[in-house]
Structure 1
Amino acid sequence: MTDVHATDQPAGPRSDAAAGGTAAAAGVGQPIGAGLITALVGFTSSFAVVLTGLRAVGATPAQAASGLLALCFTQGVGMLILSLRYRIPLTLAWSTPGAALLAGTGAVVGGWPGAIGAFIVTGVLIVATGLWQRLGALVASIPVPLAQAMLAGVLVPICLAPVKALATAPAIVVPTILTWVVLQRFAPKWAVLVAFVVAAVGTGIDIAVAHRPLDLAAMVPTLELTVPHWSWQAVIGLAVPLYVVTMASQNIPGVAVMRSFDYEVPWRPSLLLTGIGTVVGAPAGGHAINLAAISAALSAGTSASPDRNRRWIAATTAGASYLFLGLASAAVVTFIAAAPQGTVETVAGLALLATLAASLAGSLADPTHRIASLATFLVAASATPFLGVGAAFWALLTGIVLRRVLPATT
């Protein structure tokens, strides 16, 4: 009878092989975990901003859910392509500043189809930037303080939402704000995520107490395609500012963040892919995808892996995770639609406070042209359209003109 415990192989090499396999598994496990965190933090920290923006330009709850699904899928596929092709931790994101711009702009000429047309034009402009270097140089020539002032003005109404919501849903909003404040003190990275969880729990309790049924059929993820409407007002008032803020606040800083970790971004392929992705996702409601900026550090830093040659696994994992998160978009929107008025706006406002602070500081950083920056901020914050064109465009135009006309001060 053969002893099942007997072996002809020496014990030492087998132990070494097992140890090597364990080390390899551990080495892969860290970037996989980092990728999951990248996707989860990116989604939960700003999806409320996306939904607020899409609803502001005319989307129904179903169309907003479709837009969130399209954004998750296009950026997820984009991350998989770029990270596998170039073996670097290149992550993408939806344009959070762009979504905030939508919320500040509101309805455009042509309604929701008009907004869809503007999204497509934005994607075309991003593709053109990848193909034509001078267009990228033109965007880069826009003074940073003016771009920051325009963004800050757009963010003000959204960041006021938590204050306004205190009057409509205090039982949910007060615990949400307090949670955010406490986490800002002890664990700021998780402040928005935990605040969202508190808001979700409060919403669930409110729904149960009020006996409001949820539409389970609406929780099935579906794409709501819309035929675009073309209007010059939507192109100038929405597409151009959306393109500028996406380039200035996402793509260009995204390159800088990657360089800080000693990674060179393939500029042209990245812009071509994100631009095409924006065009493809636009009919389903996706407003814009771009290079990740702040969240890029989660996959590109040492926390993803001490071995920089393994960090691309984090980006690949993040891309795959977004494909699964997209499937939950309809359920998230259905749940939020049943929430008391102001709940989702509160989460969106809290998520953008840090961005508002940075934008305000950046807009006034140049003491020689503060009047131009201040005028840009005020026009954008007014959210007042003119000739059917949104305030963001006029804010940027005002700042450029004043910067040229008024003398520099000291």
Structure 2
Amino acid sequence: MTQHDTAPVVAGVVAALVGFSSSFVVVLAALVAVGATPDQAASGVLALCVVQAVAMLWLALRHRSPIALAWSTPGAALLLSTGTVAGGWPAAVGAFLVTGALIVLTGLVPALGALIGRIPPALARAMLAGVVAPLCLATVTGTAASPLLVGPVVIAWLVMHRISRRWASPVALAVALVVVLVEAGGSLRAEQLLPVLEVTAPAWSVQALVGLTLPLYVVTMASQNVPGVAVMASHGWTVPWREAMTATGLGTAVAAPFGGHAVNLAAITAAMTAGPDAGPDRSRRWVAAVSAAITYLVLALATPALAALVAAAPGDVIPAAAGLALVGVLAASLSGALAQDADREAAAVTFLVAASGVVVLGVGSAFWALLAGLVVRPLLRPASTAGSHRGRRAQRSVK
């Protein structure tokens, strides 16, 4: 087998390893934050690995296209900041299920996709930045509180940034898990290492639907699916939008009763499967998506052992590792949120409300942040900008 033959296989394996290891602890902690037990959270991660692998195989083989899928890391950050909702874990599962239905509808009903497209990108990014910021601060507070435990994790992350930014978060997580093994490895039991899926009957509450479903849907669409399409297009690939949304929405719905929160198009790892890393022969790059899918199925078997390690971790280590994994998301979100002068102040308001963590009427800060941003945006935009927009609308109406 030549190097050209192995390139897409290797690219797919690397994409899956990077995607999994860079955000595994974030997803696991997020599910626990909204009420899951450690076993239910491990079940959720396992289910996400399996359903996104199956959906990826379907899309890659059907379209001969290197379409990569992933779980929603921004969505997991949102869950972490939201915490338990009215109705507890069953209500969170119900919210995940409705999120899957909305994603399917986005593919089937163009008007819904157009509605999401009308949300100002600056506000969506500011909301995500506000959600992520307190989580990133856990690295700072954890280092101050437990320097001997968290320090090696931070140092590993910094060193790897000089060597390979792509592997900085995975290596930091690996060091964190080594720290956990040294500190608490003796408390692990053999039965904790076996893959088990736990089913939770969904329930619904208004607070969960408003405070979880809507923000999770918006952040998954705006921060994952839309950029995923753009990344694929930058490498000359067209994503079959309706089928991709149907596959990821159904995958989300299937994973929900087992604890999975959201499946979506990959953005960062999509560049690995669709770009030059997958080999010079474009007609063979779809193999990278197949390779990534198979790797995710293998990684699914490891989730219970990793989840048991995370559950046994000293208090500051895993939140610090999760915060490091989200630093890149925070930087990119802030950059996008504040890039446009006209929307900068409205984005700042959105960021502050999201970062505040306020809960009003049982609904978390992410929803109120987006609502606040939409309300103040027309008031805070410069008059000249607002006038130019009205002028363009008038011209279009005349035409």
**TM-score tier (shorter):** over 0.9
Residue 18 of structure 1 aligns with which residue? Answer: none
SS of residue paired to 2:187: coil
The match for 1:343 is: 317
Query: Which of 240, 258, 264 does residue 238 from structure 2 map onto?
Result: 264
Residue equivalent to 2:263:
289
Distance 2:223 2:258 in 1: 24
Deviation of residue 306 (structure 1)? 0.6
- Which of 45, 53, 57 is equivalent to 2:30? 53
Return the match for 1:76 from 42, 53, 66: 53
Corresponding residue for 1:356? 330
Any unmatched runs of 5+ in structure 2? 385-399
Q: Which residue of 1 aligns with 2:172?
A: 195
What does residue 141 of structure 1 align with? 118
For the residues of structure 2 that align with 1:348 and 1:407, how far apart are their CA atoms?
Answer: 35
For residues 235-294 of structure 1, give each alpha carbon's deviation from its aligned partner in whole angstroms, at most 9, with x where no partner exists: 011100000000000000000000001000000000001001100100100000000001
8 Å contact kept, 1:54–1:102: yes
Aligned-residue RMSD, C-alpha: 1.2
| Structure 1 residue identity aligned to 2:133 | V
Specify the code of the residue in structure 1 equivalent to 2:25.
Answer: A
Whether the aligned pair in 2 keeps the contact of 1:369 and 1:409 (CA below 8 Å) is: no
Give the whole-Å Cα distance in 1 for the aligned partners of 2:77 and 2:383.
Answer: 31
Q: CA deviation at 1:165?
A: 1.3
- Aligned residue among 78, 83, 86 for 1:106: 83
- Shift, 1:222, TM fit: 0.6
Aligned to 2:222: 248
CA contact (8 A) 1:114 1:231 kept: yes
Does the residue aligned with 2:276 lie in a helix, a strand or coil?
Answer: coil
Tell me the distance in 1 between the aligned counterparts of 2:229 and 2:94. Answer: 28
94, 100, 104: which one pairs with 1:123?
100
8 Å contact from structure 2 (residues 31, 80) kept in 1:
yes
TM-score by length of 2: 0.94
Q: Deviations over 1:9-46 (max 9, x none)?
A: xxxxxxxxxxxxx44xx432111111111111110001
TM-fit CA distance, 1:167: 4.2
Q: Distance in 1 between matches of 2:251 and 2:164?
A: 34
Q: Alpha-carbon deviation of 1:409? A: 6.1
Give me the whole-angstrom Cα distance separating, in 1, the residues matched to 2:383 and 2:80: 34
Name the structure where helix makes up a greater proportion of residues. 2
* TM-score, L = length of structure 1: 0.92
Counterpart residue number, 2:391: none
Match of 1:3? none
The separation in 1 between residues aligned to 2:194 and 2:229, in whole angstroms, is 36
Q: Structure 1 205/129 Cα, relative in aligned 2: closer, same or farther at 3 Å?
A: same
Question: Runs (4+) of structure 1 moved beyond 6 Å?
Answer: none
Q: How many residue pairs end up in the alignment?
A: 384
Q: Give how far 1:185 is off.
A: 2.0
Contact 1:165–1:346 (CA under 8 A) maintained in structure 2:
yes
Equivalent residue letter for 1:281: A
The 1-side partners of 2:349 and 2:204 are apart by: 30
Task: Say if 2:160 is the partner of 1:183.
Answer: yes
Among 299, 304, 307, the residue aligned to 1:325: 299
Q: State the Cα deviation string for residues 300-349 of structure 1 (Å, max 9, x = none).
A: 11111110110100100100110111111111000111111121111111
Structure 2 Cα separation of the partners of residues 336 and 392 of structure 1: 26
Q: CA separation in 1, counterparts of 2:381 and 2:272?
A: 43
| In 2, Cα distance between equivalents of 1:213 and 1:125 | 42
Letter matched to residue 370 of structure 1: R
Q: Tell me the equivalent position of 1:220.
A: 194
Q: Quote the sequence identity (%).
A: 55
User: Which string of whole-angstrom CA distances, capped at 9 and with x for unpartnered residues, describes residues 76-108 of structure 1?
Assistant: 101111001000100100000000000011111
Letter in 2 for 1:135: L
Q: 1:233 aligns with which of 195, 204, 207?
A: 207
Match of 2:395 in 1: none
Q: Aligned pair 1:279/2:253, yes or no?
A: yes
Contact 1:158 1:348 survives alignment (8 Å): yes
The 3-state SS of whatever aligns with 1:295 is helix
CA distance in 2 between counterparts of 1:280 and 1:342 reads: 33
What SS class does the counterpart of residue 264 from structure 2 fall into?
A: strand
Q: Deviations over 1:174-223 (max 9, x none)?
A: 01101111111232111111111211222211125xxx421210111111
What is residue 392 of structure 1 aligned with on the other side?
Answer: 366
Alignment partners' CA distance in 1, 2:356 and 2:251 = 32
Cα distance per residue 1:150-170 (max 9 Å; x no partner): 000000111011112124432
**Separation in structure 1 between the aligned mates of residue 68 and residue 31 of structure 2, nearest angstrom:** 23
What's the CA shift for 1:370? 1.9
In structure 2, what is the Cα distance between the partners aligned to 1:356 and 1:248?
15
The answer to whether the 8 A contact 1:117-1:228 is kept is yes
Q: Which residue of 2 aligns with 1:382?
A: 356
Q: CA deviation at 1:407?
A: 4.1
